[in-house]
Amino acid sequence: MFVPQHGLGGSQDLPLPFPLVVGGAVAALVASFAVLALAWQRPRYVDGRPQRPAPPWLGRLVDHPAWAWTWRVVGLVFFGFLVWPLVWGPDLVTNPVLGTFYVLVWVGLVPASLVGGRVVRALSPVRTLNLLLATLLRSDPAQGVATYPARWGYWPAAVGLYAFTWQELVNPQSAYLGSVRVWLAAYVAVMLVGAAIYGDTWLSRADPFEAWSDLLARLSPWGRDADGALVVRSPLANLATATPRPGLLAVVAVMFGSTAFDSFGDTLLWQRVRLDLPVPDVPLDSLALLSFCLVVGVSFALASGRIPARRLAHALVPIVVGYLVAHYLTYFVEQGQSTLLQLSDPLVRGDDLLGIGDATVNYWLSFHPTLLAWVKVLAIVTGHVVGAIASHDRVVALAPERRRVSSQLAMVGIMVVYTATGLSLLMAG
Amino acid sequence: MPALRHPVRPRRTALGGVAAALCAVLLAGCGSDDGSAAAEPGDESPSSSPSPTAESPETTATPSPTNEASGQQVEVDLTGGGTPDAQSVEVTSGEPVTLVVEADTAGELHVHSTPEQDLDYPAGRSEHQLTLDRPGVVDVESHDLGVVLVRFEVR
């Protein structure tokens, strides 16, 4: 008999208190009108400006080949390490593969990209494998046998993100190792085959983790100027540099819709609907998840009016980030700690490879529910304000003078709807 | 997000020891069914009336918060073969809660607390005491039925 030191937790955050939700919604409304009434009348964030060069030593460091290779090796070694419990580990919820896949990687890439920029691109084991394969075959990793069709844009990544969120939120087998094995095997295969056909452009456009991390990196201070030199920008100026490729809105809509569905799926209301409807759970949940993504995408496209939606879609990224913070904060902090402890015992047999076996998970955050509620509401309102400013700046740049006010009202209106919906979902029990 | 609290395969082989340890530590009275496993069908509690008839498949989990010496009591009625609606119950963190399970056949409940707890109940009426000491939302789920029975809001 053995007793693993760290069980996995299943409790969730308390619903947000009603007064705080109303306060948050009112703050979002007021801030929206303040943006409309007081903000600049000419676009401020064009072509990545304003920007200033990063300190020269920092530019030299990150442009050094050893820097890139360090992160590639780190990513590849960590992935290799995880293959061990993935293939030979027991099918227990304490197998570190599950926590790493759903918490450290999926949720962790959000803060990592917001702070460090395009971290998934730097660490991605499939990107490194493609590079090594090309080196071995003496070919160019960027070249495939065909050119990636530009009109596909980020659509493959949006499909990949739906596939991940389906695995996470719909698949009843999500907490079993077998389903993660299948998902990861399919992911690696699709990435490597795609990269062989289209070169590594495929990885930028189709890898759900890389495309999502690249997009979040636009909210980080790090960018590159036209000559490729490292520059520092305000997150708002950086966000405006997001390339409006086809499928950009789809990527953001899947991220927003799936997070909202996650909140909604936990409500007792949805649990009852699932019981009462004579439809099996998996098709019903798949359809509901898809509907949430579609509602976000279609409503935003309608609100964009005559401006192509993908040229405004970047303004949704801060809103999604605010909602993700509210949704995942406790989960990431507490489940993340417990995953780190599990990584020390990858085969769940009592090992302590990292020498942290005596440590325990710190539940300080859970014990401060009032603080937690405030952080959540502030995150959502901040995301809303940043999104409203980003859309304002773009509308001012693109809409003709006479349609400017109506375009702005539509944009801010849809954002208020999203924010209010997000807040009320976090309030629902 | 709920991936890691979704139904977890009954971990009898590997984690049976853990469940036993949890029973000892967290579930005072777990497994000691106070003799009610052999209770007569007519042995009714004041707040729940098990009437397993084919005409009434709709049974409900009837949380009846009462402040007795043993703390709050929550009744879960699984008799009659229906699937009860989930009920939301507010509890105070650190105070014991007694889960009273009424069932036709033995089974297992899963308490999605941190760490997770398994709770075996026998046929008939049984009482299980648990203490939820961290604020948050804790679901009590029947994996046989695949439904949430009670949602504790621990404050």
Interface touch A10/B5, C-beta < 8 Å: yes
CA distance B15 to A23: 46
CA distance A269 to A252: 26
Interface touch B134/A99, C-beta < 8 Å: no
pLDDT in tens, A226-280: 999 999 999 999 999 999 999 999 999 999 999 999 999 988 889 888 888 889 9
The distance of B57 to chain A (nearest Cα, Å) reads 13
Long-range pairs of A145-151 with CB within 8 A, sequence gap ≥ 24: A145/A196, A145/A197, A146/A197, A146/A198, A147/A198, A148/A198, A148/A199, A148/A201, A148/A202, A148/A205, A150/A245, A150/A246, A151/A246
On whether residue B46 sits in a domain, the answer given is no
**pLDDT for B41:** 37
On whether residue B55 sits in a domain, the answer given is no
CA distance B150 to B152: 6
How many H-runs (helices) and E-runs (strands) does chain A carry?
19, 3
On whether residue B45 sits in a domain, the answer given is no
Residue A40 φ/ψ, nearest 5 degrees: -60, 155
On whether residue B33 sits in a domain, the answer given is yes
- Nearest-CB residue to B8 (from A1, A93, A103): A93
**pLDDT for A429:** 62
On whether residue B1 sits in a domain, the answer given is no
Question: Domain with B84 in it: what CATH number?
Answer: 2.60.40.420
pLDDT in tens, A374-399: 999 999 999 999 999 999 999 999 98
- Nearest-CB residue to A275 (from B83, B111, B116): B83
The distance of A401 to chain B (nearest Cα, Å) reads 44
Cα A389 to chain centroid, rounded: 21
Structural domain boundaries enclosing B111? 10-38+60-154
**pLDDT for A392:** 93
- Nearest-CB residue to A13 (from B113, B137, B139): B137
pLDDT in tens, B110-150: 888 877 888 888 989 999 988 888 898 998 888 777 788 88
On whether residue B54 sits in a domain, the answer given is no
The distance of A168 to chain B (nearest Cα, Å) reads 6
On whether residue B53 sits in a domain, the answer given is no
- Asked whether B73 and B49 are in contact (CB, 8 A), the reply is no
pLDDT in tens, A99-134: 999 999 999 999 999 999 999 999 999 999 999 999
The distance of A148 to chain B (nearest Cα, Å) reads 33
CA distance B109 to B149: 9
- Nearest-CB residue to A331 (from B1, B16, B155): B1
Query: Which residue in A314, A396, A277, A423 sits closest to A36, CA to CA?
Result: A396
CA distance A297 to A290: 11
Mean pLDDT, rounded, for B30-41? 36
Interface touch A11/B21, C-beta < 8 Å: no
State the number of CA atoms in the 13 A half-sphere of B56 facing the CB.
Answer: 12
Interface touch B88/A268, C-beta < 8 Å: yes
- Nearest chain B Cα to A366, which residue? B135
Give chain B's domain count.
1
Interface touch A268/B86, C-beta < 8 Å: yes
On whether residue B131 sits in a domain, the answer given is yes
**Cβ within 8 Å of residue A335, ≥6 positions away:** A8, A9, A99, A103, B4
ipTM given for this complex: 0.79
The DSSP letter of residue B89 is E
From the number of C-beta atoms within 10 Å of its C-beta (0-12, 13-18, 19+), residue A272 rates as middle
Interface touch B4/A335, C-beta < 8 Å: yes
Give the pTM: 0.85
